[in-house]
């Protein structure tokens, strides 16, 4: 992994990527995590490639670089994912079953890609828009069962009211930190 150690800077650089259908809340999860901001409008994420935030983890300073994929997940997978990402936040919208199906499809293609499938990249499924529970189309139970079958992690979030956003990133970063294969290259 990319590890930079300087005296007053940071111990590790973790690069993670947000993937998922348009409109599921990737950009708002990013802005909530890095700046504690939320926006009601969908802004095309043109130009915004990534944002960074420093966090403390087990006494180490981690520079977290979060990439927001504006384009299709296929293009993202090909162009970015294999370039040193340590984790993937695979986002869907709990009120849109189609976005859950898209996430499943992404994982299927990821598994079929030999190079990707061999990696130790940490994958976490993120069901966003938990605040819209009355409009829910994907139950937590079915998403959890899917993740157990696939051996990936699962969390539900709301970028709007901040529920679990910090936790999603914290869990992902802790898992990266505790994956020796990701920390040793």
Residue ranges binding ligand GDP (CB under 6 A)? 20, 22-28, 39-42, 45, 128-129, 131-132, 158-160
Tell the smallest beta-carbon distance from residue 68 to Mg ion (Å).
Answer: 6
Half-sphere exposure (Cβ direction) of 117: Cα atoms closer than 13 Å: 10
Would you say 40 or 46 has its CB closer to ligand GDP? 40
Tell the smallest beta-carbon distance from residue 17 to Mg ion (Å).
Answer: 13
Tell the smallest beta-carbon distance from residue 89 to Mg ion (Å).
Answer: 13
Which residues, other chains included, contact 84 with Cβ-Cβ below 8 Å and sequence gap of 6+? 1, 2, 15
Say if CB 32 and CB 38 are below 8 A apart: yes
Using alpha carbons, select from 56, 72, 73 the residue that is nearest to residue 64.
Answer: 56
Q: Could you give the CA distance from residue 34 to residue 29 in angstroms, rounded to a whole number?
A: 9
Q: Within 10 A of 45 (CB to CB), how many other CB atoms are there?
A: 16
Task: Tell me which of Mg ion, ligand GDP, none is bound by residue 22, counting a contact when its beta carbon lies within the kind-specific cut-off of 5 to 8 angstroms.
Answer: ligand GDP
Chain positions 17 to 76 lying near Mg ion, rule: CB under 5 A, are 26-27, 45
Task: Tell me which of ligand GDP, Mg ion, none is bound by residue 129, counting a contact when its beta carbon lies within the kind-specific cut-off of 5 to 8 angstroms.
Answer: ligand GDP
Residues in the chain: 185
Task: Tell me which of Mg ion, ligand GDP, none is bound by residue 164, counting a contact when its beta carbon lies within the kind-specific cut-off of 5 to 8 angstroms.
Answer: none
Would you say 20 or 87 has its CB closer to ligand GDP? 20
Say if CB 132 and CB 148 are below 8 A apart: no
Report the interface residues with Mg ion, using CB under 5 A: 26-27, 45
């Amino acid at each position: 992994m990319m590890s930079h150690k300087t005296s007053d800077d940071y111990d590790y650089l973790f690069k993670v990527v947000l993937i998922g259908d348009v409109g599921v809340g990737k950009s708002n999860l990013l802005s909530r995590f890095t700046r504690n901001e939320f926006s009601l409008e969908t802004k095309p994420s043109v130009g915004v490639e990534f944002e960074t935030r420093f966090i403390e983890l087990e006494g180490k300073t981690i520079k977290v670089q979060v990439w927001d994929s504006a384009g299709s997940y296929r293009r993202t997978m090909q162009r970015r994912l294999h370039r040193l990402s340590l984790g993937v936040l695979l986002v869907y919208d709990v009120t849109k079953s189609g976005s859950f199906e898209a996430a499943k499809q992404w994982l299927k293609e990821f598994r079929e890609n030999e190079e990707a499938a061999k990696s130790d990249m940490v994958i976490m499924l993120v069901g966003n828009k938990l605040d819209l529970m009355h409009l829910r189309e994907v139950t937590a139970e079915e998403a959890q069962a899917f993740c157990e079958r696939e051996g990936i992690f699962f969390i539900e979030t709301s970028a709007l009211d901040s529920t679990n956003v910090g936790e999603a990133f914290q869990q992902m970063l802790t898992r990266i930190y505790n994956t020796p294969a990701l920390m040793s290259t």
